[in-house]
Chains A and B, each alone.
Chain A
Amino acid sequence: MSTMISRHLDDATLMSFAAGALSEPLAAAVSAHVSMCAQCRDQVRDMTLIGASLLGTAPASSGPVSARAKPRGPMDGCAQPPRREHASELPAPIARKYALTLEGIDWTRLGPGVWRHRLPLSPGAQGELYLIKLTPGCRLPLHGHAGAELTLVLTGAFSDETGEYRRGDVQEVDAGTEHQPVGDPDEGCICLIAAEGPYLLKG
């Protein structure tokens, strides 16, 4: 599944992800790409070593931290939500957090051949996270961005001024860039889009 991925994330974006310094929607899209891409997963693992090293040399506050009672008996590890497997092409982190399958998405029509499903974020989070579906040959309106935007292809493909993007490929766009993705003429596409700022429609 990961062998075909040809467009990866910027190293700087992966560094901020490993540091826990990305906004919530961007972190979601990065985790989705990382779950599909062994190469980026290895990079994040190495980057986490940077955090571990820096934490080890960071200043300490004064006074000991009091130990709680030492746990006894078998432990179940850090409490994590149980993993639920979904028969879906959605990346595992998205399927798990939103208990969603591709087949079960409640799409809202935005225009001819363009559908959207918004994914809720935490109350204080900045930006937006949504799934978009383009039917074959249909295009998103020409738009710009107030902040960075990540687009991850989940099914099919799209292309724009910068080339073609297939399943697992990710596109990073900075503030100010304008583009107009077109769904693959045969398959169309479903993408996960994370945006830091509002979407700026042109005329």
Chain B
Amino acid sequence: MFRPSIDSSAAHRPREGSAWGWMPDLLSRIAADRSDGAFRRLFEEFGPQIRHYMIRHGADAATAEELAQETLLAVWRKAALYSAAKGTPATWMYSIARNLRIDRLRREICWQELSDEVAEATASEDAAPEDTASERQRQQRVHAVLAALPGEQREVVTAAFIDGLSQSEIAARLALPLGTVKSRLRLAYQKVRAALEDLK
């Protein structure tokens, strides 16, 4: 199967003033705006990124297009069904795309639940939902942590989350011991956790 080179991971360096700066806001607005214009904009703004993600995982052009459409259609439907408190449109988008990739491209059973299913399963303990602002704040903090991550950690995190490589595949690609791949994943997560600590 086609395996993209992860040498291009420098291209994933979060850019200030990039699309990400407004992505959660735009997705939230689309979630609230049910007009034809908002629907078209969703596909224009986010379609190419999801299609590229699928192509990196070996999808041909037609399949990648179809999976991008399917992801965004699901985002559109979910946005109407769930309040923004149950996860954000950006995390739905990622988790829907990831699950479709596992199901359709790897043709394996997908064991990851979609973010809103997890939220539903855990919502009963506390009736008061997190407000939208706090979810958006969480995303902004994660974005800031990723932007400041040392290159060697970002390289490994991107290889996992965007290229979908297993730890041993990353170790082979980067000629690193498996233990080093694991410790870089742990270090990156520890920074994310520290940044979110006071939002719990």
Contacts and interface: CB of A to CB of B under 8 A. Distances in A.
Contacts of A147: 168
A163 interface: no
A23 to B, nearest CB: 7
Contacts of A48: 91, 94-95, 115
A134 interface: no
B20 A51 contact: no
B132 to A, nearest CB: 15
Interface in B149-197: 157-158, 160-162, 164-168, 178, 181-183, 185-186, 188-190, 192-193, 196
Interface string A11-26: 1101111111111100
Interface in A1-49: 10-12, 14-24, 27-28, 30-31, 35, 38, 41, 43-49
A53 B14 contact: yes
B185 A122 contact: no
Contacts of A174: 178
B146 A51 contact: no
Contacts of A59: 8, 11-12, 49, 52
A54 interface: yes
Contact of A20 (B36, B49, B65, B102): B102
Interface residues of B, number: 92
A75 B81 contact: yes
A71 B40 contact: no
B168 to A, nearest CB: 8
Contacts of A87: none
Contacts of B196: 46
B142 A78 contact: no
Contacts of B11: 59
A39 to B, nearest CB: 11
A123 to B, nearest CB: 8
Contacts of A61: 48, 51-52, 55, 64
Nearest to B75: A78
Given A48-B91, A97-B109, A77 B81 contact: yes
B160 A78 contact: no
Contact of B185 (A16, A46, A52): A16
B69 A20 contact: no
A19 B189 CA distance: 12
Nearest to B135: A49
Interface of A: 10-12, 14-24, 27-28, 30-31, 35, 38, 41, 43-68, 70-71, 75, 77-78, 80, 93, 97, 121-125, 147, 174
15 contacts: A12-B185, A16-B166, A21-B161, A41-B121, A46-B196, A51-B94, A51-B95, A55-B53, A57-B13, A58-B53, A59-B8, A64-B47, A68-B73, A71-B73, A121-B108
